Amino acid sequence: MDALKARIRAEGKVLPGNILLVDQFLNQQVDPVLIHDMAEHWYAQFADKNITKILTIEASGIAIAVFVAARFGVPLLFAKKYSSTNVTRESHEVSIYSYTKQETYRVAVSKRLLTEDDNVLIIDDFLANGQALKGLLDLCRQAGATVAGVGIAIEKIFQNGRDAVKSYGVEISSLARIESLDTEMGSMTFAED
């Protein structure tokens, strides 16, 4: 998606540890015009799939996913970090290992809110090693929900997240696919370049 790639080129910063910092427009400061356009893109792709719910994981996927929910006219649902006392015990739960933070955390989603009646479109800001996405797919599996597809803003394809979730057989639509990051040069290469 050209608008997103242009913003990444103009404002993204490459940091040590293969981090692509996009906090100026996507995941700390968020440009609503850009994510509105991103939502349109995914809607064009998945409009005929009878989506009942948009699923993401807190925190940085939420701003993107709620615009997608509005476009599809369905609720947004986000999986919460487990420690929250506001999550009732009646939840689907999974463990996710974060390579960035080098720790395992648990996320949960209420059994009331994700059920076998749901046909889910998963949305997230990044696909890197695929652990967060695998967690969301496992939550859907626990719930007996169908996954109609996955929308990712930025895929770092060199971290092989797509392979990590290959066995789930879901269609993944990434708006910007990064082939490599060069920390020393502060540069990046897109897969389509």
| Residue (of 55, 63, 54) closest to 26 by Cα position | 63
Question: Cβ–Cβ contacts within 10 Å for residue 144, how many?
Answer: 12
Contact mark string toward a copy of itself, 129..158, x via CB under 8 A: ------------------------------
Cis peptide before 59 (omega within 30 of 0): yes
Contact 15, 152 (CB under 8 A): no
State in angstroms the smallest separation of the CB of 166 from a copy of itself. Answer: 27
Residues in 55-94 at the binding interface with a copy of itself, rule: CB under 8 A: 58-60, 62-63, 66-67, 69-70, 73, 75-78, 80-81, 83-88
Tell me which amino acid residue 54 is.
I
Contact mark string toward a copy of itself, 20..39, x via CB under 8 A: -x-xxx-xxxxxxx-xx---
| Residue (of 85, 56, 70) closest to 151 by Cα position | 56
Residues making contact with a copy of itself (CB under 8 A): 15, 17, 19, 21, 23-25, 27-33, 35-36, 53, 58-60, 62-63, 66-67, 69-70, 73, 75-78, 80-81, 83-88, 100-101, 109-110, 112-113
